[in-house]
Each structure stands twice: as C-alpha cells, then as structure tokens.
Amino acid sequence: MSTYTVQVSNLSPSTTQEHLHEFFSFCGKISSIEHDAGKQAATVHFEKSSAAKTALMLNGGSLDGSTLTVTSENEHTDERPTSAGEGAHIEQSDKPRAAIAAEYLAKGYQLHDHILQRAIELDNKHGISSRFLNYMKSIDGTLGQKVVGQDKTISGHVQEKVAQATQQAKALDEQKGYSKQASDYYTRAISSPWGKTVFQFYTTTSKQVLDIHEEAKRLKETQTAKPADFGTASTGVGTTAPPLDPAVQSTEKPLV
C-alpha cells in the first residue's frame, strides 16, 4: 500500500510520537510515523495525498513550543472529488482546509495567521470536495424540511427568522434526540442562531482569517460545553466523522 509522506524537522526535545500523531491526525489518516528523537525529526506517512498536502500547509506551525518545518520530496495533489452516497462517511481529509485550521485553533495549537491564509488560498484554488458539500447539504435540507417545512433549509430559514427556527430546531431535537443520536457538531451548529454563518463557512471558499478564528471559538465552546447542553460533541478530528442519524443522512435534497 503506497503512502504519502512529509518530513518534519525542528521538533522539540519533549515531542513524542504520540504528540506527532495527535497533531498530524487533523490532516487525515496516518499510516505510520518514523520519529528520530535524536535528530528531532520525523517522517509522517499518510494514507491520502490530500492529507499530506494539508500537512505541508502547517509549515511554520507550533508544537510543544517549537516552530515546525514541514516539507516533502514529492508534490502532493488532491484526489479527484467524489460524491458521498447514502451511508458514506466523511473523512477528515474531505474537510475544507480552513475548517481543519479552525479545529487546530480550537484544540489550543498555535497557527499564525499566515498559515490560516494559506488554508484559505488552498480552498480557493482547489474548492471544497463534493463529498463534504453533499454531507452538509443533506443535514441542512433534511433538518429544514423537518423543522420549517417542505423545500426549506435551516441555513436559509435562520436568515429569515432566527429565534423561531432555533426554537423549532431545539424542540425537534428534544423530541427526536438528534444530538444524542448523531453526536454531530454540524447538525447542531446549522440549527443554531449562527447556523447560516456556519453553513457558509463550511460550504463556500469565500473566507477571511477572522472567519477561521470565529469558527474556532464556536468549536471550542462546543468542546467545553456540559454534556447536558450538547451531548457528546465531535467534529471527527483525526478520524472519520461520526455518521448522522439515518433520517438526516439519507436525503438528497438540494439547497433552496
């Protein structure tokens, strides 16, 4: 099985292989890591080329107090986008780079704004995978139909009547238990008062560095919220994103 590698240097003496795995798993699935503590360097092998390309974006990021140098001897490309069919899982490497950058910030890692800008530029150049777009649209369309009626989307309706849509979404969640069943950050985020903003962040390439910082704040608030408020929140960091409730995941409704 072929892998896609990046070389990491200038590691802190305190950095372990576990630290490296946790840090780079935000980019996508890791096959293996070769860590040379003596040389303060490592080679990270990813399963997908797109994950390795995301890792290169992190050149200049900080881990354990050291500024990392992330390079590769090969040119890594994004895989050809594919559609996410019914029951398909969205992998970490399917996410927009700006979303991955926000996850790093939410977990407390330090990424300078030039890295965030690099993430935005990658999204602008390569777009957002159709798998992830279909994933977000399925949530938006199905929740919209259940909460606000036929041919409606949560993201569109929140713009019209924020308080009403949020109250209806909360009531539906309490009745059906979507949050507890799905443990899905995106489902709750889209049905929140800032649902339209969140939806646009994850489905468009028109972003600014400030937008990444704002999404990082929302993610951090969700991660630190009490279980009674949010259930078990997850963004699928470092792994396949959690599957949605079947009723939410099965729709193919387009955006309105």
Q: Is the pLDDT of residue 108 over 80?
A: yes
C-alpha 26/C-alpha 223 separation (Å) is 16
Contacts (Cβ under 8 Å, ≥6 apart) of 182: 242, 243, 244, 245, 248
Co-location of 135 and 243 in the same domain:
yes
Co-location of 139 and 235 in the same domain:
yes
Co-location of 156 and 54 in the same domain:
no
At residue 153 the predicted structure's pLDDT band, cuts being 50, 70 and 90, is low
- Position 121 in a domain: no
- Position 233 in a domain: yes
Co-location of 144 and 212 in the same domain:
yes
Nearest C-alpha neighbor of 148 from the set 138, 137, 160, 134? 160
- The CATH number linked to 7 is 3.30.70.330
At residue 156 the predicted structure's pLDDT band, cuts being 50, 70 and 90, is low
Query: Would you give the DSSP letter of residue 245?
Result: P
- Position 91 in a domain: no
- Enter the tokens of residue 144: 């919209």
Over residues 117-124, mean pLDDT: 96
**What is the per-residue pLDDT across 30-80, written as a single tens digit (0 to 9) for each?**
999 999 999 999 999 999 999 999 999 999 999 999 999 999 988 887 765
- Position 63 in a domain: yes
Q: Is the pLDDT of residue 150 over 70?
A: no
pLDDT at residue 185, rounded to an integer: 83
Q: Is the pLDDT of residue 26 over 60?
A: yes
Q: Is the pLDDT of residue 119 over 80?
A: yes
Co-location of 223 and 145 in the same domain:
yes
Query: Would you give the DSSP letter of residue 75?
Result: -
pLDDT at residue 136, rounded to an integer: 87
C-alpha 18/C-alpha 123 separation (Å) is 29
Co-location of 64 and 141 in the same domain:
no
Structural Rg of the chain based on CA atoms: 19
Boundary-marking domain end, from 21, 39, 72:
72
C-alpha 93/C-alpha 53 separation (Å) is 10
Q: Is the pLDDT of residue 247 over 70?
A: no
Co-location of 147 and 60 in the same domain:
no
Boundary-marking domain end, from 72, 98, 119:
72
**What is the per-residue pLDDT across 78-106, written as a single tens digit (0 to 9) for each?**
765 554 444 456 789 899 999 999 999 99
pLDDT at residue 91, rounded to an integer: 86
At residue 168 the predicted structure's pLDDT band, cuts being 50, 70 and 90, is low
Over residues 134-141, mean pLDDT: 81
Place of tokens 């503590």: 37
- Position 50 in a domain: yes
Q: Which domain holds residue 29?
A: 1-72
- Position 126 in a domain: no
pLDDT at residue 196, rounded to an integer: 83
Q: Report angle CA 133, 137, 139 to the nearest 5 degrees.
A: 125
pLDDT at residue 186, rounded to an integer: 85
Boundary-marking domain end, from 72, 89, 110:
72
Give me the chain's average pLDDT, please: 76
Number of domains composing the chain: 2
The number of beta carbons lying within 10 Å of the beta carbon of residue 241 is 20
- Position 222 in a domain: yes
Co-location of 52 and 138 in the same domain:
no
Query: Would you give the DSSP letter of residue 69?
Result: E
pLDDT at residue 139, rounded to an integer: 78
**Phi, psi (rounded to 5 degrees) for 126:** -105, -10
pTM of the model: 0.75
Q: Are 123 and 205 in contact (CB under 8 A)?
A: yes
- Position 99 in a domain: no
At residue 174 the predicted structure's pLDDT band, cuts being 50, 70 and 90, is low
Co-location of 135 and 244 in the same domain:
yes
**What is the per-residue pLDDT across 189-243, written as a single tens digit (0 to 9) for each?**
877 778 888 889 999 999 999 999 999 999 998 877 644 333 333 344 443 333 3
User: Would residue 231 be called left, alpha or beta, if left means φ above 0 and alpha means ψ between -120 and 50 degrees?
Assistant: left
Place of tokens 């290169």: 56
